[in-house]
């Protein structure tokens, strides 16, 4: 998307010797929701009697009137305006929350469109621009929604409505439709974590009760993720959406539909490439493991996907990948393990020899995992030759003594597993290295020849050397 709202780098921001979190005074920031276009005039609402004070027969109508009053939204950035009316709306909303929780028989057919309208008027809004251009969810305090005193009650009310025993999806589906869901999903980009938490519950309820919307919801989440991965790298609600998906995946019927497999391979795996992975990695890994528990045959594409997107420069992410991989290996079937062990251990061997000791350490911890150890033992004839050169070299030259100690243990374990192969590899270590070097030299020569040729031909085609 357009980098709307980029202003030139300001001299104000760049004096950066301290970490952002230190620099920024812990001021409480809040933001209005881009919907108040200077209405100016004070708002007047005529106070209505309490629902409990009127006869039961009149309650239904009064309920509708109250809903209509609550459609009015107030400007909370202006902390002084309409104080009385804001308080009135707050108490009315509170009353409505209690009313839908305890009352019976209030949900007439006319109430449905009014409830949805009230909720829509209050929660649907264009989210305001982020306060800082480079909002970093790990470092910066989120901007809180100024109208939360009302907004929270509206969400609360809506959830009670959806959960109410009298709630009938067959009527509600006329009003809670695709358009409604689409707007709801856009709100997941809210910076306010409290709002996202409510949204999560709301969406979960809708997914549970409206079977007709399920495919649509999944598809739209797909689109949000794809946009997040390939276009903007910015969306605040990824973790919340993944959390919902975790339980959705849990409920998938077997055998898995092609649509679901595609979602795994084309959406969930690429989510690993995003810079802010740490913010939703736990939820993402949970989804992945859910898939594999459903259908072990997906193990190979998943691991190949992770290997394809393995972080090149970000050690922190590498540690996360290793953690996720261990979760996967915990549930892997031996038959699947065999299919993937070669590329997998080539990567692990690179991690083990990482100069970043946390990466090396995380990888070496695999050897403390009994199940993984048993898999390695069964396949030591394949894995040992892949790992040996790295381990041998690190045991001699890694800068970190803790890593060297861990590597000794691993080597010892291998020696006990398969001493014949181990001795063989130790014996041929030197000659193998020499062979590699020779090959390397041959490569270099090949390229040199090719370049000479290019030069010669280039000259010739320029007409300098006649053919």
Q: Which is nearer to another protein, 310 or 357 (CB)?
A: 310
Of positions 83, 102, 450, 459, contacts another protein by CB under 8 A: 450
18 binds another protein per the rule CB under 8 A:
no
> 251-255 long-range CB contacts below 8 Å, 24 or more apart?
252/294, 254/294, 254/295, 255/295
| Interface pattern 237-276 for another protein (x via CB under 8 A) | -----------------------------x---x------
> Any idea what the Cα angle at residue 226 is, between residues 262 and 196, rounded to 5°?
110
Q: Is 215 in the site for another protein (CB under 8 A)?
A: no
Residue 31 bridge partners (DSSP): 145
Question: Looking only at Cα atoms, what is the longest distance across the chain?
Answer: 107
Query: What residue has token string 């009127």?
Result: 54
Residue from 20, 24, 30, 36 in contact with another protein (CB under 8 A) = 36
Q: What is the DSSP string of 154-215?
A: HHHHHHHHHH-TT--HHHHTTTS-HHHHHHHHHHTT-S-HHHHHHHHHHHHHHHHH-GGGHH
Residue 27 engages another protein in binding (rule: CB under 8 A): no
179 touches another protein (CB under 8 A):
yes
20 near another protein, judged by CB under 8 A:
no
Rounded to the nearest whole angstrom, what is the least distance from the CB of residue 243 to another protein in the complex? Answer: 23
Cis (ω within 30 of 0) for the bond into 255?
Answer: yes
DSSP 257: P
* Whole-angstrom distance, CA of residue 43 vs CA of residue 121: 16
The residue range among 5-13, 111-119, 413-421, 426-434 that interacts with another protein, by the rule CB under 8 A, is 5-13
Helix (H, G, I), strand (E, B) or coil at 107: coil
C-beta of 73 vs 111, nearer to another protein: 73
Min dist. Cβ of residue 457 to another protein (A): 6
Please report whether residue 223 would count as binding another protein according to CB under 8 A.
yes
Which of 28, 37, 104, 430: binder of another protein (CB under 8 A)? 37
Identify the residue among 101, 168, 368, 461 touching another protein (CB under 8 A).
461
H or E element that contains 144:
strand 144-145
End-to-end CA distance of the chain: 53
Binding site residues, another protein, CB under 8 A? 1-2, 4-5, 7, 10-12, 14-15, 34-38, 126, 128-129, 179, 182, 223, 226-227, 230-231, 266, 270, 308, 346, 443, 446-447, 449-451, 453-454, 457, 460-461, 467
């Amino acid at each position: 998307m357009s980098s709307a709202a980029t202003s030139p780098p300001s001299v104000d921001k760049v004096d950066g010797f301290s970490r952002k979190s230190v620099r920024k005074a812990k001021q409480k920031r809040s933001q209005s929701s881009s919907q108040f276009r200077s209405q100016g005039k004070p708002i007047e609402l005529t106070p209505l009697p309490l629902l409990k004070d009127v006869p039961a027969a009149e309650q239904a109508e009064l309920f509708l009137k109250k809903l209509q009053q609550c459609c009015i939204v107030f400007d909370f950035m202006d902390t002084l305006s309409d104080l009385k009316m804001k308080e009135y709306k707050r108490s009315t909303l509170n009353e409505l929350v209690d009313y839908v929780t305890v009352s019976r028989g209030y949900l007439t057919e006319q109430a449905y469109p009014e409830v949805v309208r009230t909720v829509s008027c209050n929660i649907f809004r264009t989210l305001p621009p982020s306060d800082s251009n480079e909002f970093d969810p790990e470092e910066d305090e989120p901007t809180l929604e100024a109208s939360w005193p009302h907004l929270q009650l509206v969400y609360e009310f809506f959830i009670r409505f959806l959960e109410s025993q009298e709630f009938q999806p067959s009527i509600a589906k006329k009003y809670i439709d695709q358009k409604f869901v689409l707007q709801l999903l856009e709100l997941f980009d809210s910076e306010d974590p409290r709002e996202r938490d409510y949204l999560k519950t709301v969406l979960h309820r809708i997914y549970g009760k409206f079977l007709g919307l399920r495919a649509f919801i999944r598809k739209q989440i797909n689109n949000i993720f794809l946009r997040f991965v390939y276009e903007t790298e910015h969306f605040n609600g990824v973790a919340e959406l993944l959390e919902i998906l975790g339980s959705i995946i849990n409920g998938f019927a077997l055998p898995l539909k092609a649509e679901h497999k595609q979602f795994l391979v084309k959406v969930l795996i690429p989510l690993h490439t995003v810079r802010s992975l740490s913010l939703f990695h736990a939820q993402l890994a949970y989804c992945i493991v859910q898939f594999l528990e459903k259908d072990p045959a997906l193990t190979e594409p998943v691991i190949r996907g992770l290997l394809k997107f393995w972080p090149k420069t970000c050690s922190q992410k590498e540690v996360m990948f290793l953690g996720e991989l261990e979760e996967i290996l915990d549930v892997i079937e031996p038959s699947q393990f065999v299919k993937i062990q070669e590329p997998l251990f080539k990567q692990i061997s690179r991690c083990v020899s990482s100069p970043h000791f946390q990466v090396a350490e995380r990888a070496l911890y695999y050897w403390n995992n009994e199940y993984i150890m048993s898999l390695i033992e069964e396949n030591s004839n394949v894995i040992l030759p892949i790992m040996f050169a790295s381990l041998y070299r690190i045991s001699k030259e890694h800068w970190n003594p803790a890593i060297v100690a861990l590597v000794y243990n691993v080597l010892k374990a291998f020696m006990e597993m398969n001493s014949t192969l181990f001795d063989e590899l130790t014996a041929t270590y030197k000659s193998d290295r020499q062979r590699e070097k020779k090959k390397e030299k041959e490569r270099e020569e090949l390229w040199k020849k090719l370049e000479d040729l290019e030069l010669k031909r280039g000259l010739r085609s320029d007409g300098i050397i006649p053919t």
